[in-house]
Amino acid sequence: MSIAFWIIATLTVVAALAAVLLRNLVHCALSLSLTFAGLAVLFLQLDAQFAGFAQILVYVGAVAILVVFAILLTRSSETPKDGGVFSPTWLAGLAVAAAVFATVAGAIVYSVNGLPNAQAVPSVTVLQIGQALMSRYVLPLEIVALLLTAATIGAVIIAMHEKPATKIGGAK
C-alpha cells in the first residue's frame, strides 16, 4: 500500500465527512465534488483510467452542479431557522450506519486472506472498451440510453411549473 493511496484515501474520506456534516448546503455540495475527485484519483490508481475520467466528467461535471442547482432552487442555502440540520433522532441513524460499516468491515477483515490479489497490471485501451460496448454490452448500452432519455424527460416534467389551467385532477 503506497503512501499515495493513504493520502488520497484520507482526503476522500474527510471530504465525504464534510459533505454530510457541514451546515451550509453549498459547502456540502462543494465537499461532495471534492469527494468525487478523490474517487476519480483512486480509480486512476487502480488502472481504470476510463472509469476515472468518466467519473470526473459525469459526477464532478454534472451531478455536483445539479446538486448545487437544486440547493439554490430550493432555497436550502439559507440556514434553517428552527432546530438543527440533523434530525432529532440522528443517533439511531448513526447507529444503523455504524452497524452496516461494522458488518462490512468485519467481513473484509475476516476474509482478508481469501481475497484475490492479482499483481499484473491490466492494459485497457479505449478501443477495447468501445468494442466491448458495441458487441458484448450493446444491450445494456441501449437500455441505458433509453433510461437516460426517460430520466431527462421525466425530470423536466416533474420540475416544470404547473400552469393553473392544467392542474392535475382537472377540477375547475
Partner 1 sequence: MTPLAGYLLVAALLFAIGLAGALTRRNAILVLIGVELMLNAANLNLIAFWRYGPHPEALTGMMFAIFSIAVAAAEAAVGLGLVISVHRHAQTADLDQMNRMKG
Partner 2 sequence: MQEVGFTPQLAASPIAGALWLIPALPMLAAGVIAFLKQPRKSLAKALSIGSLGMSLMLALVAFGHVLGGWAHGAAVRETVNFTWLEAGATQVDLGWVLDPLSAVMLVMVTFVGLLIFIYSTGYMEHDENVTRFFCFLSLFAGAMLGVVIANSLLLLFMCWELVGLTSYLLIGFWYHKPSAAAAAKKAFLTTRVGDVFFLLGMVWLFSQTGTLLFYNHGAGSMEPTALAGLLLAPAGLGLTAAGAIGLLIFAGAAGKSGQLPLHVWLPDAMEGPTPVSALIHAATMVAAGVYLIARVYPLMEAGSLAGSTSTSLTVVTWVGAATALFAALVAVAQNDIKRILAYSTVSQLGYMMAGLGMGGVAVGMFHLITHAFFKALLFMGAGSVIHGCHEEQDIRKMGGLRKEMPRTFVPYAIGMMALSGVPIFFSGFWSKDGILEAAQHWGVAKGPFYMLVVGAVLTAFYMTRQMSYVFFGNWRGHGHAHESPAVMTLPLAILAFFAMALGALGTPAWPWFRAFLENRAAGVEVGLLGESEFLGMLATSCVIVAVGIGLGWMVYGSKSPAAEEPDAIERALPSVWAVLRDKFYVDELYAVTVIWFYAAWARVADWLDRCVWGGAVSLVSWAFKGGAHLSRLCDTYWVNGGFDKGCEELANGGGLLASVQSGRVQRYLRLLALAVVVLAAILIWSSRG
Residues that bind partner 2 (CB under 8 A): 87, 89, 92-93, 96-97, 99-100, 103-104, 107
Give the Cα separation of 122 and 125 in Å (integer): 10
Which of 49, 17, 20, 16 lies closest to 33, judged by CA? 16
Angle of CA points 28, 69, 53, to nearest 5°: 70
Site for partner 1 in 22-51 (CB under 8 A): 25, 28-29, 32, 35-36, 39, 42-43, 46-48, 50-51
The answer to the question of residue 165 lying near partner 1 (CB under 8 A) is no
At 144, give phi and psi (nearest 5°). Answer: -60, -35
Task: State the number of CA atoms in the 13 A half-sphere of 153 facing the CB.
Answer: 5
The answer to the question of residue 80 lying near partner 1 (CB under 8 A) is yes
> Which of 4, 126, 134, 137 touches partner 1 by CB under 8 A?
137
Smallest gap, in angstroms, from Cβ of residue 130 to partner 2? 36
Q: In Å, how far are 9, 56, 120, 133, 163 from 43, measured between CA atoms?
A: 11, 10, 16, 20, 46
The answer to the question of residue 4 lying near partner 1 (CB under 8 A) is no
Partner interacting with residue 73 (select from partner 2, partner 1, none; CB below 5-8 Å by kind): partner 1
Partner interacting with residue 65 (select from partner 2, partner 1, none; CB below 5-8 Å by kind): none
